Chain A
Amino acid sequence: MVRMGRLAHGGTVLVTAAAGVARALRVPRRRRPGTGPDPRPARWQVVTVDRPPEQVLPQGRWPEPLRRLDGAVELCLRPAPGGRGTELAARQLAGRAALPGMAAHLVGDDPGLLIRETLRQAKQYVETGEVLRPDRSRLDRPAVPG
């Protein structure tokens, strides 16, 4: 689904809501016990991608690293001021509180961390064509006799 909306600081935005198939793993936000569900919407996580909007979401398709959050987040984008490309924002869908699989487990009760990291990867993918991989760690390399 694609709709028009507004970011908190004003300006017209194009909003692409999740229409995906994410499994419903519930990820609670940090709340005091007994206070019930948090009615506040999650904070937008935002990166600025140094490319025009049509390259960030070509034909409305999400870049690869974001697709794994399909169904769990909504996206907004708008042109960045000063010719700096596109502001790409994502936040957890209200009331859905779902992040997929192991990722949700790893970030515990702060899905914003995963969303932010995924946005960074999406930005990298659009700007450089791939996501920078770290050197292989000692843990995932074969041991070498020293």
Chain B
Amino acid sequence: MRALCWEGAGELAVRQVPDPELRNAGDIIVRVRRSATCGADLPLLSGRTPFLAAGDVLGHEFLGEVVEVGAEVRGHRPGDRVVVCAAVACGSCWYCRQGLYASCDNGSPTAARAEAAWGQPTGGCFGHPAALGGFAGSHAEYARVPYADTGAFRVPEPLSDDRAVFASDAAPSGWMGAELGGVRPGDVVAVWGAGAVGQLTAQAARLRGADRVIVIDRHPERLGMAERHAGAETLHFEHTDVPAELRERSGGRGPDVCVEAVGTDAAAGRSLADRFGAGRAERPIAVREAVYTCRKGGTVVVLGTFAGFVDTFPLGAIMQKGLTVHGARQHGQRYIPRLLNMMARDQLATEHLATHRLPLEQGAGGYALFRDRADGCVRTVFTP
């Protein structure tokens, strides 16, 4: 089959690779119909992440058609149209039973890597290196889906592929951001980052009854989308003093909930030392600003992808202001049925985020658009 493979720092190419196969009785094989780029791919693409090897297939946000099922799969059959949660989780361990699917004990066959990196094993993720299971990504004609009865969800008709694909990762991430923040009616919510996850966090905060939602970014097209589709106010951080503006718009208190949806600086750091953890620390500029501006006793949620260490983190402000800080990879299995239902009823719109739809063969160019935010790109979606 054809797949979009990482070839080295900043290098991508479409290659012929072996078809995936059923490896466990709970697996399904999906013919991929839509597979989206994601900000979490950018550190991988730039070569900053250890253990990614030339030939690895990227992509984790996808939708497709079931073509093969394992012997123990009960919920799917060939021909089903499914959206697949980007997080791989067993559905049977204590963490899954608590709804903490991304923390699954059994979602990765290479748990020792995650334990070494983060102190505990975590669930897996498609299109990531060994610390997250080493599963092949979805920018390919076919993908293997482990624990399919837990992680694949039938898409109701007539919900379009272009809308439903974002139920795989961006929409559950955004919904979780608002939920972890405990957003409730009357809240002022600030969201750093007007990418897909930031915009969907803003939509979720609105749906949970926030009084004001303020989105911060520097790309006018993205800010315009946040205004139109999420009913958010926006701030261009290069044109204004963000902390002062947020204070003014929240009665001097600071936002009740601050959500960081930016992640690591994707453009920097490509040395071997960076890749293997001895390089410079990441720069959590948005997290720092969120902590600084959040009201006393408020909540900061970190949704962006930070693989390792950060520097100049305002720990003192967290203690002095009594903040609660949450962070998580998305527990999509907990949210996807509800999100698909909301999408089907037009309560949640996402297709506008797919600003560029391209065939797999244009994968390298599609990622360049996405990485550089060129041509108003929010997400490139491939159609293998």
Contacts and interface: CB of A to CB of B under 8 A. Distances in A.
B134 A134 contact: yes
Contacts of B211: none
Given A141-B18, A144-B17, A134 B94 contact: no
Interface of A: 47-48, 50, 84-85, 113, 116-117, 120, 123-124, 127-136, 138, 141-142, 144-146
Given A142-B18, A146-B16, A135 B23 contact: yes
A135 B72 contact: no
Nearest to B23: A133
Interface of B: 15-18, 20-21, 23-26, 53, 55, 72, 90, 92-94, 97, 105-112, 121, 133-136, 144, 146-147
Nearest to B109: A134
Given A50-B97, A130-B25, A130-B26, A144 B18 contact: yes
Main secondary structure, interface of B, reads: loop
A129 B27 CA distance: 13
B106 A132 contact: yes
B304 to A, nearest CB: 27
8 contacts: A47-B105, A50-B92, A116-B112, A120-B121, A132-B146, A134-B109, A134-B110, A136-B18
A50 B20 contact: no
Given A124-B105, A127-B105, 16 more contacts: A47-B105, A116-B112, A120-B111, A127-B90, A127-B92, A128-B26, A128-B93, A129-B72, A132-B147, A134-B134, A136-B18, A136-B21, A136-B23, A142-B18, A144-B18, A145-B16
Contacts of A124: 90, 105-106
A134 B26 CA distance: 13
Nearest to A144: B16
Contacts of A135: 20, 23, 134-136, 144
B96 to A, nearest CB: 9
B142 to A, nearest CB: 12
Given A84-B94, A127-B92, A127-B93, A133 B24 contact: yes
Nearest to A143: B18
A89 to B, nearest CB: 16
A123 B25 CA distance: 17
A42 B38 CA distance: 45
Q: Which 10 A-B pairs have the closest CB atoms?
A: A50-B94, A133-B23, A134-B109, A141-B18, A124-B106, A127-B92, A144-B16, A132-B109, A146-B15, A128-B90
A135 B109 CA distance: 9
Counting chain B CB atoms within 10 Å of each CB, the highest count among A47, A129, A135 belongs to: A135
Contact of B55 (A84, A134, A138): A138
Given A132-B146, A134-B110, A135-B144, A85 B94 contact: yes
